Amino acid sequence: MGNKGRKNRMKRIAAPRLWDIMRKEGKFIYKPIPGPHPTDACYPLGVVVRDILNLTRNSKETSYVLKKGLVFVDGKLRKDPSFPVGLFDVISVPSEDLFFRLVPSSKGFSLARISREEASLKLCRVNVKVVVRGGRIQYGTHDGRSFLDGSHNLKPGDTILVEVPSQRIIDTVSLQNDVLCMVLSGERAGQLGKVVELKKGTMTRERMVKVSLPGGETEIPARLVLPVGKEKPLITVGVST
């Protein structure tokens, strides 16, 4: 009879390309469990603690640190080393006064050091907008959160600044001309630029956004762009911001 339990490891050589790890250092590595982020767009928490931040040296130390309750993700205690950590998630180790935000970069993801005050703030991209029972508006975001809110007229592609873990909406940014946006994927991932023009999609071409980046103007699919503020980012969204 086969093993019905989940496997919490995978071969390093088969890990997603965005993982910044030593692929020939060992044979196995943590495998992310199903959660708020897809496997190819997240890190397992244990990999962040051990391989990216170098807070521990091996799996035994990593498990000890997590089970002791020293690490938080978006303000919530997480003890599973396979818990998926993705775009704009905040990893906190309060006992060491360490706070980081996972931000996009040309290599995949980078960890941006942030202040204790910013550790309670997070940007969420609106992916879904539906009308639920009672005529109320529900928004679904990139990290699996849901918001029942009728006071903000948001559309898919807009951004919500959220207080975590309470999920209180602090501010919103709409994807429109002249707002500051960030590229989420590709060679230009992590770059900031102003939106110059929004182009509607067709049956054969998805909605595009013309953005003025440091290297010049370029057109990018709207799904790969995130509005982060008007004149400057609402919070730290990059290693140098």
CATH of segment(s) 180-229: 2.30.30.30
Tell me which CATH homologous superfamily contains domain 119-173. Ribosomal protein S4, central domain (2.40.50.740)
Residue recorded with tokens 């609402």: 234
Q: What is the pLDDT of residue 203?
A: 84
Which tens digits make up the pLDDT trace of 39-71? 889 999 999 999 999 999 999 999 999 999 999
Q: Whole-angstrom Cα distance, residue 73 to residue 153?
A: 29
Return residue ranges of the chain for CATH 2.30.30.30.
Answer: 180-229
The fold adopted by the segment(s) 9-116 is: 3.10.290
Which tens digits make up the pLDDT trace of 192-234? 999 999 999 888 889 999 999 998 999 999 999 999 999 899 9
> Quick one: which H or E segment has residue 64?
helix 59-67
Return residue ranges of the chain for CATH 2.40.50.740.
Answer: 119-173
